[in-house]
Homo-oligomer: A and B are copies of this chain.
Amino acid sequence: MPDRIASPVGAAPGTLAIDPGAKAPGFHCIVYDANQLDEQRPASVADLPDAAVQGVTWIDVVGLGDANVLRALGARYRIHPLALEDIANVHQRPKVESYSDEELFIILRQLDAHTDDGTEQVSFFVRPGLVITFQEQDGDDLDPVRYRLRQGGPRLRDSGADYLAYALIDAIVDAYAPELDAREAALDAIEERLLSTADEDDLRALHQLRRELTFLARAAAPVRDVVAALRRATTPLMREETRIFLRDCHDHAARAVERIDAGREQITHLVDLYLSQVGHRTNDVMRVLTIISTIFIPLSFIAGLYGMNFDTRSPFNMPE
């Protein structure tokens, strides 16, 4: 998958490379504390709420198709130009960075069936009282967190921006599991079939699954590393209580990576099995051909021998 919308080569750092096909930005804001929750969809950057003094402000930016809006967001919330560049150029490796002690900048990849490689970039900007998320498309990976916020479950509403960031990351990591379930079921079905027959379509299906798992691996492995880095990050922004939950989230991400690796190993073995069976079948076919031929070709010759004309009238007679 070529990075078709990369920054022009040699551009100054911080240049915003906007994909011409990207959606125009829309905003979805939730401002909450333990007692109340306010949800709004402002139309412009000027109408966005500030970081909450008590409680948390979550701004979800969907669509990255307008450089001016991104620059306005960067100016209003003091986002570093290099971070803004990474938000706009959606082919970054998942990573966690901080440009100051008071903030975290996180890039992950969430699953998205509409893209070439099945994943899209989601960026987080975290600061006390404030979480800004940047997504390419409307997705529903983050919806369960919105639902839980509205329900008012105690831990989520009582805790700070770091816990909200954890909850969002956890939702993204959890979304890998059903995708993997589907892939594993497909693999098991192919394995079942391969043990009795070897069909070229199965080979293509294996190739396709390998491709998909490769894309998943490239997304999931760095996501796991980012969660591990967050656990160990020295920033005071991430409180001790939240780190225990990040450990749990890391377990889930690590398990997803292990399942992907196991799936890819299984594919390698299935391709080998397929090839062994094709080889064996060629051998069987050859053996039938050889048995038939070694019996009947000499017999045909003998029959042909007795079919020869030894008529004395023919000049082609053998000299007997």
Contact = CB atoms under 8 A, between A and B. Distances in A.
B177 A3 contact: yes
B13 A245 contact: yes
Contacts of A247: 97
A248 to B, nearest CB: 5
Contacts of A119: none
Contact of A290 (B144, B155, B258, B285): B285
Interface of A: 1-4, 6-7, 9-13, 80, 82, 85-86, 91-93, 95, 97, 99, 141, 143-145, 147-148, 153, 155-156, 167, 170-171, 174-175, 177-178, 180-181, 184-185, 188, 195, 200, 203-204, 207, 210, 214, 218, 244-245, 247-249, 251, 254-255, 258-259, 262, 265-266, 269, 271-283, 285-290, 292-294, 296-301, 303-311, 313-318, 320
Nearest to A107: B251
A218 to B, nearest CB: 7
Given A274-B276, A307-B307, 16 more contacts: A3-B181, A6-B174, A9-B141, A9-B144, A9-B171, A9-B175, A10-B147, A10-B170, A10-B171, A11-B174, A13-B170, A93-B251, A286-B286, A293-B293, A297-B297, A304-B307
28 contacts: A1-B184, A3-B181, A4-B181, A6-B178, A9-B177, A10-B175, A12-B155, A13-B155, A82-B248, A99-B244, A200-B277, A203-B280, A210-B269, A214-B265, A275-B275, A276-B278, A288-B290, A289-B289, A289-B294, A292-B294, A296-B300, A299-B301, A301-B303, A303-B304, A303-B305, A306-B308, A309-B310, A311-B313
Contacts of A3: 177, 180-181, 259
